[in-house]
Amino acid sequence: MKFSFLFFSLLLSLTDLFSQVTSVPLTAYQSHEQYQEASITHRRFKHSDLEPLLLKLRDNPTFTVTPLGKSIEDRTIYDVSFGTGETTVLLWSQMHGDETTATMAGLDLFNFFAQSDELDPLRKQILDKLNIHFVPMLNPDGAEQFQRQNALDIDLNRDALRLQSPESQILKHLRDSLQADFGFNLHDQSVYYTAGTNPKPATISFLAPAYNYEKEVNEVRNQALQLIVLLNDAIQSFIPGQVGRYNDDFEPRAFGDNMQKWGTSTVLIESGGDKNDPEKQQIRKVNFVLLLTGLHAIAKEIYRKAPVENYLDIPENERYLYDLIIRNVQREMNGQLYTIDVGINRPEIDWDDYRQFYHLSRIQYIGDLSIYYGYQELDGDDLLIVPGKVYPKVQQDFQAVAKLKPKRLLKQGYTIVQVKDMKSNEHLRSTLQFDVIPEGSELEPEILLGKRANFLLKKRKKPKFAVVNGVLVEL
Ligand SMILES: [Zn+2]
């Protein structure tokens, strides 16, 4: 009798723990769509897009929306707070202006708490225990120009000691006034990071920042480590093998490190890249899972059961990715053939008030890339790589370029078109099937480091593939 009771209660507590750990992430993942803020569908949004959404939350008694102060260029920075509990959680996103993924997820999180449905018990568990403060878009001036720094070109994440920027002061004052127990420092990282040395991108990376050079672990940091172990487990089924661990070298000027030092258990979450998700809408969903799971784990103190030593099992962030790798092609020089791989990236160039972009490719590496990976790869075994050519007929504008027949011209080796008017119809630029240069410009197509990637891959003089401004085209 005693035994079976013990067994029963053990079973009960195990299933309880199990369901607490596993069901919240799954529930969040499956239900995300119904809370997703529909007005934001791309990474490049601004304060003027965000502000009305935050002010609208004031209609809902769950939220208090407080202006905390103004950015250098006079944009209001808000604190969205909700929950009536004792444990204070401070989250802030976009201290780097062009890192918007967590802001999108934050809006989805607000929508979740704004609604009422069968998930009310989960809401109640969190709201009864926590006092949540979320500062979305701490750096609205940076967001305006889709750049990392603020209007002074200061990196806010190196301003935690000197506190020269109003945006940094706002965050510091809020933390001090709340004496926050937990902090979530929400960022985006390079899409070229991998989780360890494997081909998978570090779609999410974590860090429990150090609070001294010795990287000691006190109770404050230990809680952050445990929370990360739990969060890593929570998202592995959605992005298996795509979670990394950020370098924990102490950075005395950074906010995360200082938050930890000031007594707030701080988790850094970095959103990286994923295949076929250039606008990071899937990663936004994973962020939503992380935020909801994290809040629930703090509310129910489930993180305390997480084995802290598992933190070190998360593979470290490495940089092993390119946008495109062409492997094993033959390059001719002075009558000799050499086998090379070519690593190509496609950085974004802003236009249209930073709301749009096009790509200008760049050859990042030539040589042996056998231990590196590409989001896209081509094994060009036995193909000859030759530079593309500039089409001799100058085109009036992008509209004219769009009317050219790409396959025919590419087969003749023309990957680049000269254009008279590079300003009108700029929206067409990202859709063109040719690289474009201003009329009369000097650009000679070459297969060299730092140049744009324009070349053909030929088999016995027949073109099989072209790479046009870093984009692979089958001919
Ligand atoms: Zn950042």
Structural contact between residues 243 and 232, judged by C-beta atoms closer than 8 angstroms: yes
83 with 122, same domain: the answer is yes
Q: Which of 268, 286, 318 is the last residue of a domain?
A: 318
| Confidence class for position 7, pLDDT limits 50, 70, 90 | very low
The answer to whether residues 289 and 367 belong to one domain is no
251 and 369 share one domain: no
CA of 167 to the centre of ligand 1 (A): 14
Whether 426 and 460 share a structural domain = yes
Alpha carbon of 189 to ligand 1 centroid (Å): 6
* pLDDT value of position 393: 95
Domain stops at, among 261, 289, 318? 318
Cα 64 to averaged position of ligand 1 atoms, centre (Å): 27
Same domain, yes or no: 203 and 238: yes
CA of 257 to the centre of ligand 1 (A): 14
Q: If 0-12 CB within 10 Å is exposed, 13-18 middle and 19+ buried, where does residue 242 land?
A: buried
Ligand 1 centroid–CA 472 distance in Å is 31
CA separation for the pair 11, 71 (Å, rounded): 53
d(CA 345, ligand 1 centre) in Å: 20
DSSP of 86-104: SEEEEEEE-SSTT--HHHH
Q: From 263, 291, 318, give the residue that closes a domain.
A: 318
Same domain, 270 and 383: no
Helices (H) and strands (E) in the chain, counts: 11, 23
Same domain, 384 and 258: no
Same domain, 11 and 90: yes
Would you state the torsion angle of the CA atoms of residues 63, 66, 70, 75, taken in this order, to the nearest 10 degrees?
Answer: 40
Instruction: Judge contact between 71 and 132, C-beta under 8 A.
Output: no
Domain span at residue 153 reads: 2-318
- Is the separation of the CB atoms in 244 and 194 below 8 Å? yes
In what side-by-side order are the strands of the sheet with 243-245?
63-70, 76-82, 130-135, 87-93, 182-188, 265-271, 204-207, 243-245
Among 296, 283, 242, 207, CA closest to 25: 296
- Report how far ligand 1's centroid is from the alpha carbon of 99 (Å): 6
pLDDT confidence of residue 382: 83
Query: 427: CA distance to ligand 1 center in Å?
Result: 29
CATH number at residue 135: 3.40.630.10
* 58 C-alpha to ligand 1 centroid (Å): 29
- Ligand 1 centroid to Cα of residue 422, in Å, is 33
Structure confidence at residue 8 (pLDDT): 46
Enclosing H/E stretch for 322? strand 321-333
Give the residue ranges of DSSP H helices in 263-386: 281-299
Q: Are residues 242 and 100 both part of a single domain?
A: yes
pLDDT in tens, 190-243: 999 999 999 999 999 999 999 999 999 999 999 999 999 999 999 999 999 999
Per-residue pLDDT of 343-380, as tens digits, reads 999 999 999 899 999 999 999 999 999 999 999 999 99
Are 51 and 198 members of one domain?
Answer: yes
Q: What residue type is 47 in one-letter code? A: H
CA of 153 to the centre of ligand 1 (A): 14
Cα(148) to centroid of ligand 1, in Å? Answer: 7
CA of 105 to the centre of ligand 1 (A): 16
Distance 78 CA to ligand 1 centre (A): 19
CA of residue 96 to ligand 1 center, whole Å: 5
What global pTM score does this model have? 0.93
Q: pLDDT tens across 374-422, in order? A: 999 999 988 999 999 999 999 999 999 999 999 999 999 999 999 999 9
Residue 363: which of 279, 278, 440, 435 has the closest Cα?
435
- Average pLDDT of the chain is 94
3-class state of residue 473 by DSSP: strand
Residue 48 sits in the same domain as residue 36 = yes
Same-domain status, 190 and 330: no
Ligand 1 centroid to 214 CA: how many Å? 24
For the chain, how many structural domains are there in total? 2
